[in-house]
């Protein structure tokens, strides 16, 4: 039996601008994504066996531990790609990243599975092959695999490294309320105002000069979702300089902690976080 423990970080979108809808049903976007110091942990065990068997477990009651979990799908993708001999593959998922929050917890877990299995089986796949595997599973997985600060384009799977700026961070999420990606894109499709300020390009130009301008933070989903959900609009109103991450429902502020008159019993607040310059990785 071999074992490895993988740390998988959450991400925030410093910008997220939806450009247009593609023929395949996805949307083209441009987004500056950034990994942060909020982590899930995967403990992966592999044991040779006569037949393949996948066993998932974890500490969260909010996620399934069956074939619908992205972790399960990632295992199947890797096994099929590498054509492994039969093994029992067990993964324990320690969740800290809220689900349905726009923080890419599931995508980061999927990237962590690829990273961990590839290490356990002797780095069978090279970086290019790992990127191909990541893009076949989901839009944010390539980014979560590499981490840091990146421009993500197409449906999110094409990544380009950007200069990293370490910053303090606070994340706020309503308790017992999430928004699925499908729901968010549906709301965007129905919204009349689909314009965007091209803040992604503006911020990249500044980053390349060593400058970061917080006023350029932007998310196309805010205009689409705020009319539907007062809960989201309330956070934007009561937390100064906050921005929704991804498709929501989490928001972030580039500050160590926040002062707000929100009822803190109704929200999960992660303070004293930082931006980080890496993605999934092995930990002790």
Domain locations in the chain as residue ranges: 1-284
Task: Please report which confidence band the pLDDT of residue 45 belongs to, taking 50, 70 and 90 as the band edges.
Answer: very high
Q: Which of 20, 5, 37 is nearest to 103 (CA)?
A: 37
Task: Please report which confidence band the pLDDT of residue 23 belongs to, taking 50, 70 and 90 as the band edges.
Answer: confident
Longest pairwise C-alpha distance within the chain: 59
Task: Please report which confidence band the pLDDT of residue 28 belongs to, taking 50, 70 and 90 as the band edges.
Answer: very high
Q: Is pLDDT of 284 > 90?
A: no
The topology (CATH level 3) of 1-284 is Ribosomal Protein S5; domain 2 (3.30.230)
For the stretch 197-247, pLDDT in tens is 999 999 999 999 999 999 999 999 999 999 999 999 999 999 999 999 999
Q: Is pLDDT of 101 > 90?
A: yes
- The CA radius of gyration of the chain, in Å to the nearest whole number, is 19
The pLDDT value given to residue 26: 85
| The two three-digit tokens of residue 93, written as one number | 């998922």
User: DSSP states of 44-110 as a string?
Assistant: EEEEE-SS-EEEEEES-SSS--STTSHHHHHHHHHHHHHTPPPEEEEEEEE--SPSSSSS-HHHHHH
Q: Which of 95, 140, 173, 233 is catalytic?
A: 140
Give dist(CA 223, CA 248) in Å, integer.
12
Task: Compute the average pLDDT of residues 47-76.
Answer: 97
Tokens 């490895």 belong to residue: 4
- Quick check: is 51 catalytic? no
- Quick check: is 140 catalytic? yes
Give dist(CA 61, CA 95) in Å, integer.
10
The pLDDT value given to residue 24: 86
Give dist(CA 158, CA 272) in Å, integer.
30
Task: Please report which confidence band the pLDDT of residue 21 belongs to, taking 50, 70 and 90 as the band edges.
Answer: confident
Q: Is pLDDT of 260 > 90?
A: no
Q: Which of 11, 77, 95, 173 is catalytic?
A: 11
Of 264 and 195, the structure prediction assigns the larger pLDDT to 195
| Average pLDDT taken over every residue of the chain | 95
The pLDDT value given to residue 261: 85
């Amino acid at each position: 039996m071999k074992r490895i423990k993988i740390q998988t970080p959450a991400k925030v979108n410093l910008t997220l601008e939806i450009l247009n809808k593609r023929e395949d049903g996805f949307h083209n976007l441009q987004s500056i994504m950034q990994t942060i110091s909020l982590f899930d942990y995967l403990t992966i065990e592999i044991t040779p066996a006569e037949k393949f068997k996948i066993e998932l477990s974890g500490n969260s009651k909010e996620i399934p531990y069956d074939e619908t979990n992205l972790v399960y799908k990632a295992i199947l993708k890797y096994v099929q790609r590498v054509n492994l001999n039969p093994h029992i593959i067990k993964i324990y998922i320690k969740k800290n990243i809220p689900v349905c929050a726009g923080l890419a917890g599931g995508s980061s877990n999927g990237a962590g599975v690829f990273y961990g299995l590839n290490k356990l089986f002797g780095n069978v796949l090279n970086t290019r092959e790992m990127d191909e595997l990541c893009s076949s599973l989901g839009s944010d997985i390539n980014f979560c695999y590499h981490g840091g600060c990146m421009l993500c384009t197409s449906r999110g799977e094409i990544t380009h490294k950007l200069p990293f700026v370490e910053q303090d961070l606070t994340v706020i999420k309503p308790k017992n309320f999430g928004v699925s990606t499908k729901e968010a894109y549906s709301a965007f499709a129905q919204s009349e105002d689909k314009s965007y300020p091209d803040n992604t390009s503006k911020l990249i130009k500044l980053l390349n000069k060593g400058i970061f301008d917080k006023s350029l933070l932007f998310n196309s989903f805010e205009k689409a979702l705020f009319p539907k959900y007062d809960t989201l609009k309330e956070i934007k109103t009561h937390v100064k300089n906050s921005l929704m991450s991804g498709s929501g429902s989490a928001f972030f502020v580039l500050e160590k902690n926040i002062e707000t008159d929100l009822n803190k019993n109704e929200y999960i607040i992660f303070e004293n976080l930082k931006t980080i310059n890496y993605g999934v990785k092995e930990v002790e």
